[in-house]
Each structure stands twice: as structure tokens, then as C-alpha cells.
Structure 1
Amino acid sequence: MRHLPTRTTRRRAAGALVAGLLAALVPAWPLPAAGAEAPAAVPAVPTAAAAPAPADGLALTPPMGFNNWNSTHCRAEFDEEMVRGIADLFVDKGLKDAGYEYVNLDDCWALPARDANGQLVPDPARFPDGIEAVADYVHARGLKLGIYTSAGTKTCNDAGFPGALGHEYSDARQFADWGVDYLKYDNCNNQGVDAQLRYTTMRDALEAASATTGRPIVYSICEWGENKPWEWAADVGQLWRTTGDISDDWGSMLSIMKQNLPLARYAGPGHWNDPDMLEVGNGGMTDTEYRTHFSMWSVMAAPLLIGSDLRTASDETFDILGNEEVVAVDQDPLGKQGTVLSSEEGRWVVAKEMADGSRAVALFNETSSPRRIATSAKALGLPEADGYTLRDLWRHKSYHTAGTVSATVPAHGTVLVRVSADDRWAGNPPAVELGLDGGTLLEAGRPSALTTSVTDLGRTPAKHVSVSLTGPGGWTVRATSPTGANTLPTGRALRTGWTVTAPAGTPPGAYGLTLRAEYRSVSGARAENVLPLTATVAVAPPAGTSALGDLPRLSATNGWGPVERNTSNGEAAAGDGAPLTVGGVVYATGLGVHAHSAVEFYTGGACGTVTAQVGVDDEEGADGSVVFEIWADGTKAASSGVLTNADAARALSADVGGAQVVRLVVTDAGDGITSDHGDWADARLTC
């Protein structure tokens, strides 16, 4: 959960762990060329057996269900009518059949005070029939009920609902008597009591209640990763939070993913790393980003707890959450968390060993442009074979490959496949990879050139290959070279040049293009591959010197909250920052960011220099440390070196002549995101 008075504390505690965790990631290795094996130095996914399942049989696969906090917080719509409605939707929309079973209540379900007997009292306005009646309703639909409290004297909400510290045994018994099946145990107002003691006491209380009532309760430890629970909680609870709270934006999701990935060896049946609940459908990210969110949580064997209000969810949200092939990756009984094979320049390969010997592979593109991402069957630890079956888990189609697993992945997208070494590969058409050379960044009314490729990755030829590129209505898309080939042998590519023109007057923004290849297998079966692309119409910056805080941006990602214009980063909603202040000097213009951050501007080859006064904002404590970087297209043009709260603003400038895109990056200097408010003060672009 998220509560403003404690949010920064949680962020800092989790952020301080990032550097050490990321150090455990596999180094970034070179990616293979099309049709080539990965270098022998690339380590294979570990194949050691998972830790033995616990004797209690709880959470043998990651828990799946719903929690209301991300969509409702403590607002009035959180009540028993909502809970009943979610339970009904689980059944009606097929989510129960897909594996979702827990309907969990978060904070604010109780009155602020216990009764005269020290018992918890459900809020009669929210739950007039009581928790037991709600549990009965949920159970009648073949589902389970979860509840929330804190390992402190109060919960995390500002209203101060009663926590369980000192009441563990009576509260656990009350939960069991009500029919509760799952407990989320938070970390606020803990009075400095040792974390392991607090959480172990509740474990013992839950076991005692279970022994008396016969009701086992899954135990979710929510101490935000402050005390490294992955090192001690495997015999305490069934899952433990590894990070601070997630929020419904790309930067938050990405940061949490990066913190959780290095902890793969601690996960297994009955003990799971928990990178917090899902934000899918809450509106702060695109559908592409939500598919990445769901894909990466699944390949990380994370608990899948829906955080959106399903009563108002879109069809696309249900399609994402209900993708049973992706859910099967998360719920695989072997219980392995995915392992990072490479992460070079934001091109991630994360692979998960499956119980049937196959590998689930996430090709994840962190960057804001399409990128080719590749690995191989050898790098995945699969045995040598004539061919491999490759199943696309979002397109629900099967192909075969000679060994290369690769795709051009859209910005912020993930291609999730399952690769098997089996004798059935020849019954599938060959996989073809769609590629793109050149950018999809253009100015209205001006032709832009790009080149596409269609490459056969299979063991057999692709026959009667044709390729098409389409854009929005009114756009002109013309091929400048052949768009077809009778036969495309293994490893060979059809390359086609195109000119793309957006009509004059097209407003700036993102527009969809679709690259499609159609072909036949040697047996005559039809097949296709589709690559959605985004063309960005940009406006050239004005001549002269402009304040970057006032110019339109191509893209912006931020470690916490939005990038702010002409104020510091406030960590929550846009416009909540303060004046930019570094070393006691206040600046009227600039950008306020929070590491990790990247802000892109279109310069169209017409600009010469970027200048700024950079530093850690004075509003933060003594722990901040960041590095500011200026990139011209794909080349780093300037770096500030490490700056801390003790440093005055440092002048930073870069020659960006000829660049189409300028990117301003702030990193965490390798020690986590604690207090990392970076100011691009007085940032200016000269064109």
C-alpha cells in the first residue's frame, strides 16, 4: 500500500538496496546476429532443482487474486458490495478458471478502535454484514478471502486503524474464525521492534489459529524489503515484499522490476519474491507497457494480484489479465523465477526454466525506440536439436526456429515466448523476424526513409514471402525496393526500403504503423508475423536558445513521479514540486527529475549545444548521489560525474550538432535511488 507520510521512507529503504541487487545481475553480453548462436561465454539458465516444497502445502505456486488498494485506497467505494462484485467477476469473466482465487481486502476495513474485549471491529458502513458474511459469499463461489493488518500498533493509513502488534494471537484467531484465507501483514508503526521477531510472532499465531480452527492462512510479509526478508523469511511466510510500493507509471514499474530480478535464487514453491501488486488497467501506462508489466511479473514467478477495479475494466485489461498462456508461465509447478541472461543497453533477455524442460523467454525493450533483442537455444540451456518449437504467448501461435530466438521489440514492449526442444517442431512454419533500420521519427510534410527486413529463423525456407507497411489514413507509404521473395532460405533476409510521409499539418504525437509479413511453410501452410510500430511526428525546435523546461518532449521516464517542468520533483502528481534549488541557489527554469530518469527532445539535426547547471536538489537529505548525462542520438556527449547533496551545482554542456534526438539521463550513481532528486537547472538548447 501507499501512504504519503511514509512513502519516502519506503522508497529510500528500497532504493538503498538497488545497487547491491543489480550487481548480482548477469553482465550484459553481446547479442548474436540473426541466425547465429550466442557467444559461448553467455551463461545458461541454471538448471538446479528448486527448493523443496513446504510441508504445509500453502502457495506452492505464486498466489493469484485481487487487492483493492491500487484502485480505491481508502475511498468510499471500498466496501462489501465491491468485494462481492469482484468475486462475481472472477467467475463471470473466466479469471477463476485462469487461476485467480484470492479476493483480498486492504487497509480501512476496520473501525479505528477495538471493542471493549480488544477485538477488531469491521467498519459497519463499509461491511454492514461483517467480514464472515463476505467470506461466506466469496467461498460460495469457490474463491478465497484475504485481509490486511500491520505489524505495528497502527496500520499505515493516516486514520490509524488498529495494528496487530501485541494482539497477534487474538487477531489471528479472529481472522480464522471469520474464514480468512490470506493475510497481508504491513510494516507501519512497528515501534522499532525487530522485524524477524514481529513477523515470526504472527507466523506462530497463524499456525496456532489454524491448528484450532482447521483453516490455514497464506502469510504475505509486507516489510518493503527493508530487512532483506528473502534471506530469512522462507520459513516464516509464503511470500515477502522485495521493494517499496508500486505506482501506476512506467518508471515505478521498471525500478521495481530491476530490484526484484536479482533475487531469483530465493524463490520457489511456498516462498516467493513479491514485487508488489499489478497496476494493469489503472490507466497510468499504455497497453503495451501493461503487457510488459504482466509478462515480467509472470516470468519472475511473482504473485499476480490484480490492482484495478474490474467492475470498470476494459476488454483489453481482461485480455491481459486472462492470458492463460502467460499465467501458466507464472504458475509453473517447478517454481523457478526467471534469470537475467543479458541487459545490454536496455535490451533484456530473461529466461525461466519450466517443469516440462522448456524455457519461457522474455525479450524486453526498456528503451523508447524499437530494438532487436536476441538469444539462442544454447544460451537458454536447451539441448542441441535439429529444430525448436517457439510459441508466441501473446499471439498464441507456434513456429519453429533453428536455434535463434529474436525479435524487434517495440518501445517499452515485451515479446514473451516459450521454447522447447522436441520432435514436433517440423509441423510448424518457420519463425520469421521482422526488423527495422532507421527511425520512425519525422516532421509533418517531409518524407522520411526507413528500411525493413524479414529474416527466416527457421530450419526450413519461408516460401512466397510478401511484406507490407501501412500507416494512418492520409499518410503516404511507398516501397522503394521489392516487397516479395519466392523463397527465403534459413538465415536470409528480404530487405525493403520505404518512404513515409505524414500530411502537412499533422499534429505532433505518436501514430501507429504496422509492418506485416505473410508467407508459407514448405508444406504450404499460411503464416504471418506482425510488428506494430510507432511513428512520432515531431516539431523542430525554434532557432536561437530555448529553455528545455518549456520545450515539448518526445518521451520521459522517471524513477518516482513525473518529470517536472521548472520545478523540482515532487514524487507524486504533476505540479507538486518546489522551486529548483541547488547549493542554496534558486533557478527559475529547468527540469526536476528523480533517478533513474531519461528525457528525450527532438532536435532534428538543427541544434548545436545543450547547457545546464546540474545537481541534487536541496530539498533532499544527505544521501542523494546522481550522475547527469547528455546523449546525442546513441552517443554519450557529456557526463557530470558523481554529484551529491554536498556539491554545488555543476555546469554541464555538450555538443549535440547533427543529432536528431537529445536525451538527458540521470542515474543513481550505482548506490540506489535514495534522495536522488536531480535538477537540470537553467537547462538550455541552442539551435
Structure 2
Amino acid sequence: MPRTTGRRKSPYRRTGTAAGTVLALLVGLAACVLGAAPQAGALPNGLALTPPMGWNSWNKFGCNVTEQKVESVADYLVSSGLAAAGYTYVDIDDCWMAGSRDSGGRLVPDPVKFPDGISGTAAYVHAKGLKLGIYESAGTKTCAGYPGSLGHEQTDANSFASWGVDLLKYDNCNDDGTSAQQRDTTMRDALANNSSGRAILFSLCEWGVDNVWTWGAGVGNMWRTTGDINDSYGSLLSIFHANVKLAQYAGPGGWNDPDMLEVGNGGMSFTEDRSEFSLWAEMAAPLITGNDLPNSTAATASILGNRDVVAVDQDALGKQGVQISSTGGLDVLAKPLANGDVSVALFNENSAAATMSTTASAVGMPASSNGYSLDNLWSHVKTTTSGAISATVPGHGTVLFRVSTGSATSTGTTHTLVGASSGRCVDAFDNGTTPGTKIEIWDCNGGANQKATLTAAGELRLYGGTQCLDATGAATTAGTKVELWTCNGGTNQQWRLNADGTITGVQSGLCLDVTGGDQPAGNVNGTQLELWNCNGGANQQWRLN
């Protein structure tokens, strides 16, 4: 949204009391017992020991936020399993309030948009086991022109607490010329001293001004490091470049915030959406999605619901990934994890695919006589290496590995193959075993006709190894149907499971594709698989389950 500011920089004056020091020590002790100690100087409210996760209304709905939309998101978070994956906060952005305060100087929820008030919406969200966030600005008005909190900090903090608010996103529009740090500190103290004693996570939306990362940890639980994101690859790239440099400032209790996720809003490709989510997780960023969640596609759900990637973001060690190399737009990031593993992101900024490489030692892994296991967190394919970490990464794509000592491989193991565009499994039609049986997608049900064994020869064998996925007639043209056939060692029965999640036929070089799966109607039960020119679409992306 447009930002109207008038500011001057001033030295930061840290405030505190003896009681605050004791509280900080107690919070730190409790956090250590739980396994995640807040960073030195972190806000002593015991919140955000891992990066906050949830949803915010602004990116998709702007000023058209309503109680009904907020509650439908809460419903979806629970029903989809995203709440169980860690998406806890449901955040109402700007435009939720009336145009003026009441006679007592208090903020008033818009009675049309929020007929049950913020307290009623909070009660609904809390009943789902979730938390409610609210928006305000540290100026005379919000960015959309509604009453701001400048000069009303304690009154507003008391209102938020009495309504049951769990998070405050505090913007920076229409200020009085004092520093963002000074105005944020005033609200920090007001939140800490609210009349009900409610703990409220404090999210600073300062767009990276005044080097907020150098003082944010003593004032808020997360702080914006850049201007507003928009739904484009160019915006993703610019924000990544700014945020990736700031790893030293993040940790339990306080996080660099490169802004909300645009995943699922339609302005980026599936590959770019997946890169955004991978990079945000690698940078230990808050995972606050900003799409129309209840109407998410299966492709969007496959990104937001990937618990292995979420686990990288939420790792208890609380380290932001560090860029260990960046040459010609090929970026390697390494993030140490609490169990001794390292998450490695290979991000290709360029438009053409590129082979990217690093080593276990370069990313901080100890020497291992048994080699290293590379667990691809998008395809779930595991391989073993003696130390090299390498992958062909599509343009604008990211390959994300979890690297551990020891060996592991997916070869010889049996899995279902789940399509990203459908959330359905590769399936032999009607449990058929005769040669020529159609290979399709179907709701995953654990049947033998959905279990594929990966062989050293590159075959995908069903039914315990007697029948193979086969390119019909050994054809190599786009549109060739995939069927079941007796395993015979032909190259039309050999497949490569690629680092980007695609599966290509060895004979044809074409991708395993859900026919018409680039459209919602193409992802229904019974849709046949075929070979098609590789294009990065979600209907050509697969994961092992």
C-alpha cells in the first residue's frame, strides 16, 4: 500500500527496569528448558521462539477484509492440516476499524465488516485453537487513512488485550517526524503494560528503515527488513538480496521479516512460488501467507503444507541460513539445524537451468567416513554422496536438501508418488495388473496399485515388482500415454527422478505429466498420465510418500 512518512533519525535509547531484567532472565531460563533460548537482547515476552507462522489479509484482500473472511481462513487452517503444521496466527490487516475513535478515545471496529467486533472474531479464532493478529500504525493515521496509534498507545494496547488479540502488526505511516525506533518503543512498553497483562507478539513493519535489524530485537519479535513485497519474481529477488545479508541479527524471540508470502496469488510460476517458500524457510523468516487460503489449489497446498520445509524454518536452533557463495546468480545457502544436520538451498536466480554444486565441508558438515545423505525436501528422494552436493536447478528454482551424516537412498524402496497439482497418487486403473492398464491419478488409498518400487535400473515397479510404468509403444513424442506393462528392461520403462521434482523418461527425455493438469479440471480422479515437454508446471512435479 502507499506509504506516507516523515521521519528523522535519532539515537536509540534503550529502556528497561530491574523487574524487566528479572523477567528476561526467567523467560530465558524457561526457553532453555524447552530447547530454544531467546537471542541476547530479545524482547522478554517469551514469544516467537521460532518464526511466527500464519496468514494475513492484506496481500489478497486489501481493505476488503471482513469477519467472515477471517473466520473462513481459521476454518481452513484447521480442516486442511495447516494449523497442525504450525500456521497459528490469523492476522487482520488495515481497514478493520471505523473512521474515528469513540468518545473515550478508543478504536472502534467497523460494525459492518466486523459485526461481532474484534473480540467476537478473536473468540471464534481462539475456539479453533488459533491466535488473532491485528494491525495499527505508529502515526496519526494508518496507511489507508484510519485512526493511528500515535499518542494513543496505552489506550490501544489496552483495547487489543481486552479483545483477545495475540499479535500486533505495527506499521509506519503518517508519523510525526520522530524515529520509528522511538515510536515503536513507546508501543512496546504499552503492550507490556496492558491492563490485562496479556502477552502480545509485536511485529514491526518499518520497511527496513533506520537499520531496524540493529535494534529490533529489543523492541519487537519480528521486523520488516524491506519495502512491501508484490506478487512478482522481481520483488522476490530484490527482497531476498536484502534479507539474506542479515543473518546475524535473527534468532529465537526476534526475526528478520522479508514480508508476507505471495505463494498462491498467481503472479509467479509454481517454480517461483516454491523458491519463495524455500528461501523464506532457509532464512528462518516468519511464514505468514497472504493468499485466499480457503480457495487454495492443490499445488499451493503442496507448498504451504510441506512439513519438511516448515521444519527447516521452525528448527529450534533458531539460526538464519547464511549465503556461503553467490556467483553469476547461483546462490548457495546453508542453515545449521538443531540435530546437527544442515539445510542447503541451491537457488538459481537466472532464467535458464544450471548445474549447481557445493560440498558437505563447505556447508559446515563434519567429516564422515560413511558419506552423507541428501534428502530432497521437495521430492523426498534420498541419495548418498561422499561429499559433493550437486543438482540441476531450473531457472528461478530452488533445490532444498537436508544433509546428514551417513548413507540413505530411495533406490529399492517402495512409495506412493503424489502429484503436486492434484494431491493424488499415481495409480493403476481399477487395480488392474494386465499389460496395457491405464496409469492415472487417484485419491491416495495405500493400495498395491499405488505403490511403486524404485529400482537401480530406474524402473518404477508396481505390485511388488512384476509390472512397470511404461511409455506406450516405446513412443517418444509429447502426448504418449503411460501404461502398465510387464517389466522388460526397455528404456521406455526407465525413469529419472530429478532434483526439481520432475520425473523424465530415459528414452524420451520428456516429463511424466498429468494430462491437462495445468487446469483444475485436469486433476480429477481418473486423469491419465502421459509424456509431455518439460515445462516446470505443478502437474509435472512429484514427491515420494
Is the 1:154–1:163 Cα contact (8 Å) retained in structure 2? yes
Alignment check: 8 A CA contact 2:381 2:410 kept: no
Coordinate RMSD, CA, aligned:
3.2
2:175 to 181, 190, 194: 190
Match of 1:103 among 80, 90, 93: 90
- Asked if structure 2 preserves the Cα contact closer than 8 Å seen for 1:138 and 1:144, the reply is yes
Q: How far apart in 2 are the matches of 1:50 and 1:123? A: 37
Deviation at 1:50, TM superposition (A): 8.2
Report the residue type matching 2:387 in the other structure: G
1:153 touches 1:162 (CA, 8 Å); kept in 2? Answer: yes
- For residue 389 of structure 1, report the CA deviation from its aligned partner: 1.4
TM-score where L is the length of structure 1: 0.57
**Following TM superposition, by how much is the alpha carbon of 1:398 offset from its aligned partner in structure 2, in angstroms?**
2.3
> Which of 457, 462, 479 is matched with 1:473 structurally?
479
Tell me which of 374, 381, 397 is aligned to 1:397.
Answer: 381
Superposition pairs of residues 466-615 of structure 1, within 5 angstroms: 472-473=478-479, 513-514=510-511, 533-534=534-535
Q: Which residue of 2 aligns with 1:305?
A: 288
SS at match of 1:298: helix
Kindly provide the CA deviation profile for residues 449-471 of structure 1, in whole angstroms up to 9, marking residues without a partner as x: xxxxxxxxxxxxx9435799966
SS at 1:51's partner residue? coil
Q: What amino acid does structure 1 have at the position aligned with 2:128?
A: R
Counterpart contact for 1:399–1:430, Cα < 8 Å:
no
Q: What is the correspondence of 1:375-394 to structure 2 with a 5 Å cutoff?
A: 375-386=358-369, 387-394=371-378
Aligned partner of residue 368 in structure 2, secondary structure: coil
Residue 535 of structure 1, CA deviation: 9.6
Question: CA separation in 2, counterparts of 1:142 and 1:465?
Answer: 45
Structure that is richer in helix per residue: 2
Alignment of 1:24-35 (within 5 A): none
With over 3 angstroms needed to count, the CA separation of the structure-2 counterparts of 1:133 and 1:295, relative to structure 1, is same
Mapped contact 2:43–2:217 kept (Cα < 8 A): no
Whichever residue aligns with residue 534 of structure 1, its letter is: N
- Structure 2 counterparts to residues 625-664 of structure 1, below 5 A: none
Residue 79 of structure 1 pairs with residue 66 of structure 2: yes
The structure in which a higher percent of residues are strand is 1
| 3-state SS of paired residue (2:235) | helix
AA at the equivalent of 2:80? K
Q: Compared with structure 1, are the counterparts of its residues 172 and 385 closer, same or farther at alpha carbon in structure 2 (3 Å cutoff)?
A: same
The structural deviation recorded for 1:428 is: 5.4
Q: Does 1:350 align with 2:336?
A: no
Q: Deviation per CA, 1:96-145: give whole Å up to 9, x if none.
A: 10000000000000011111111100001100111001000101111000
Which of the numbers 120, 124, 128 marks the counterpart of 2:115?
128
Question: Aligned with 2:94: secondary structure?
Answer: coil
Amino acid at match of 1:472: A
Tell me whether 1:292 sits opposite 2:282 in the alignment: no
Q: What is aligned with 2:499? A: none
Deviations 1:62-89, CA, capped at 9 Å, x for gaps: 00000000001112xx210111101011
User: Corresponding residue for 2:520?
Assistant: none
How far, CA to CA, are the matches of 2:536 and 2:86 in structure 1? 38
- Which segments of structure 1 move beyond 4 Å, counting only runs of 4 or more? 52-55, 426-431, 465-471, 496-500
Aligned partner of residue 457 in structure 2, secondary structure: strand
Partner of 1:179: 164
**For 1:301 and 1:187, how far apart are their aligned partners in 2?**
24
Aligned residues: 418
State yes or no: 1:338 paired with 2:335: no
- Whether 1:67 aligns to 2:67 is no
Please give the alpha-carbon distance, in whole angstroms, between the structure 2 residues aligned to 1:163 and 1:373: 48
Q: Which residue of 2 aligns with 1:202?
A: 187
Cα distance per residue 1:230-261 (max 9 Å; x no partner): 11111100000000000001101111011100
| 1:395-434 correspondence runs (5 A) | 395-422=379-406, 425=407, 429=411
Q: Any conservation in 1 of the 2:38–2:49 contact (CA below 8 Å)?
A: no
Kindly state the Cα deviation for residue 346 of structure 1 after the two structures are TM-superposed.
1.2
SS, match of residue 210 in structure 2? coil
Contact 1:230 1:242 in 2 (8 A): yes
How far did residue 55 of structure 1 move?
4.2
Unaligned runs of 5+ in 1: 14-48, 432-461, 476-481, 487-495, 501-511, 517-529, 537-687
- In the other structure, the counterpart of 2:34 is none
Long gaps (5+) in structure 2: 9-36, 414-454, 461-470, 482-489, 495-503, 514-530, 538-545
Q: Quick one: which of 138, 150, 158 aligns to 1:165?
A: 150
State the distance in 2 between where 1:397 and 1:465 align: 13
Q: Is the 8 A contact 2:325 2:333 kept in 1?
A: yes
Percent same amino acid at aligned positions? Answer: 54
Aligned equivalents of 1:531, 1:265: Cα separation in 2: 45
Kept in 2: contact 1:106–1:147 (CA 8 A): yes
Question: Does structure 1 retain, via aligned residues, the 8 Å contact 2:133–2:166?
Answer: yes
Change in CA separation of 1:463 and 1:194 when aligned onto 2, cut-off 3 Å:
closer
Q: C-alpha displacement at 1:472, in angstroms?
A: 2.6
Q: Distance in 2 between matches of 1:61 and 1:151?
A: 25
Determine the structure 1 residue equivalent to 2:131.
144
Distance of 1:300 and 1:327 partners within structure 2: 12
- 3-state SS of the aligned residue for 2:149? coil
Q: Which amino acid aligns with 2:163?
A: W
Distance 2:72 2:510 in 1: 39
Whether 2:82 is the aligned partner of 1:89: answer no
Counterpart Cα distance in 2 of 1:258 and 1:470: 41
Question: 2:411, 2:456 within 8 Å by CA — same for their partners in 1?
Answer: no
